[in-house]
A and B are shown apart, each in its own frame.
Chain A
Amino acid sequence: MELVERYLQAVKAALPGKQSDDIVQELRDSILSQVEERESTLGRPLNSSEIAEILKKMGNPMTLASRYGGRRQIIGGSLFTIYWKVLTWALTIALVAHAATSIAIAASGKPFGESLAVFFHFPGVALKVFAIVTLVFAALDLLGARLRPCDHWDPFKLPALVKKPARKSKFDLVVQLVLQAVFSAWWLTGLHYQYLVLGPGANFIRFGPIWLKIYPLFVVTASIDIGLTALALMRPDWGQPARAVRLLKHALGLLLLFLLANASTLFVPADVNRVEWQPVVRSINFGLHIGLVAAIVATLVNFVRDGVRFVRQLFAHEQQAAMGL
């Protein structure tokens, strides 16, 4: 019977302390009753293999003990839905804040490594956010908080139906791809041969040095743009990868805009000796800087919106996978 006691000892180790002796005593009686019944059928004492067989039927000691535990989750029921939403929002905000800080550091002209280092802090911050949100909700659940959606809800107050934009036809996408390729070629060549972009205006003004400094970024952004259209054309069902690439494009766009906005002169006079052109060029630079600030705000809004959509979709897919849908 040593085997039985070893089994009970293993069960007891995993049981909640309060009732463990009582539960073990009851289980002992049940096992011994089964042993006695089998012995009376066979007319002899059971050997260790036969006893082990009975114990195996009782189940793994850890599994058996776990069935006595009343509380199995730290955040349960409807509270979990709210917890999940708060957690995704908190993590998204943390990610956007890090991205914004990183871009701001890059735009201020500090070394690239310093800008990148901000992202290395993110996993630690994300872990802290996760821990804090989880602890708060676990405490609420433990205290029996009733943070559940209200029963007295009004169907008429539900958000308006979101209309999905119609998917572009293949023809539209091909036209878009050709136009993007032509525009990219024009723009990237035009930065070197400025008369292509500025036309006769190239006799009066020229691009400032910043445009060629960030030339590789223009190349990458144009490639991503073309790649996105090609992806929509070839694999229209790859929504999530496309969203991830679009997010990267917005981030690059933000970096481009910040770098441009940070440059003191976007355009310089074609002839530095023509003093009368200086005020005109200053006005152009001033106007463009204002335009760049507006573009930064718009791109930032797009970046945050697409970031939230991406994270939502990501978690929705994970939830569906977890639910086996």
Chain B
Amino acid sequence: MEAIGDLIGGFGMLFGDPEALFFTILAAFVGIVFGALPGLTASAAIAMLLPLSFYLGPLPALAFLYVIGKSGRYGGSIAAILFNTPGTAASAATMLDGHPMAKRGQPNRALRTATVASVFGDYVGEVILIFGAVWIAQYTRTFGPTEYFAIYAMAFVVIGSVVGKSVLRGILSVVFGALVALIGTDIITNTPRLTFGAPELRDGMSLVPLLIGVFVISEIVVQAERMAKGELVDAGLADTHRDDRLTFAEVRRLVPLMARSSLMGSFIGMMPGLGSSVACFVAYGEEKRRAPNGAEWGTGTIEGIAAPESANNAVSGPSMIPLLTLGVPGSTVAAVLIGVFLIHGIQIGPLLFSDTNMIITDTGDFFSSRELIFALFAAGLVGIAAYGAMGFWGGPLIGKTIARVPPRFLYPFIFLTAVTASYSARAQIMDVGIALLFGVIGYAMRRTDFSAAAFVIAFVLAGRMEESFRQALLLSDDGALIFLREPVAGGFLVVAVLVVAVRLIGQRRQARRVAAS
């Protein structure tokens, strides 16, 4: 009940801050547009717009990027349905039924089904986030450096082993991300590390050029390759529309399916590393198995759109639970939000829910971090309504407008925005070069099954993990045995070992099956 009171207070704070409200609504639109651009994702949008958030207060900045993460996931369904190209990996399953429906003259019905299902899933996920995070945070408040090191180690191993096709490459992505994060100066001894004697590297690597390189520039490179091969987006839609409406009776019929898919998506969202792309296929597969008309799925059924869309948007809220309660980002969007919290001097973790953890803004306003978090939750709820309204009535128009913009002009503009944004984070020309370097690295990672998401999450977490490790050892009388003697820490490490073992066994079985066939 306390959470409901705080949430009402959060709405009050949001509606009392016109800037925050404006950026929440703007984010809903920006996310839809970026998500709907074939190839570009919410992570790419956030990477490019992150520098803008440096100029905003904590609430507008967080609300802006958080809502882009939500609406970007939804926007991917527009590209999936209209262009048969998933705007984001999370929309890959939506394409299976969405595009056939659009092709037979029902694009509006498909888009509206996706909108209703996305909004439904997102609200379920957001409610689970609000109550789940508050409940978990009361238990994690007592954790010290020993437990935190174990949690970070578990997160590294779990994210590395589940996020991609290969356990080895996933863990290598994590190790590489952590090493890049250590470039700079050791915060305890002030010793330069991994700088190769270059004084410019003593301040370390900035998150913005790294994100832009891995998510935006590598994607632009892929799009340039596609254009060279003539792989143009072809909607192939019918000229005439028939029965192109979603009725209220159909929505009512979809409610149980959307509820089940949303719960599946929410559960998957709570696991660090497992994101929307997993959730959408799990929900699609499970609901197809249950459906009496399962044989029709894949030919353009509204159920085949609603299940993956509810699940992939339900991931959004719960993926923030590990971030807000433990400081561990469950997704790339959450990893970027860590940067925003830190820029505004806010320590993430369970203390965020404390009433006594005060934040003072540049303008002299002050509020507790708990008030800020509940205002962020309120922004999430408003953002869902905003992208729902925009998508329901404007989705077809947004899709058609994007289809009219020639990619040969669109991607150069995105490229110029990306390289300029990488400069804008620290006003250093070197950062543009770093973004290009990580663009090449990101492209090579895509081509060889490495995980960009694991790389970025490790980059964000590595410094904190090392700090906890060294602090725990300072407190220990038994050296590294402290991590096994403390039951909570030991438990997390055991979970990490189990997850890797299960994944390795699964991978080996799959390799045997492939070899046998």
- The judgment on whether A and B are partners is no
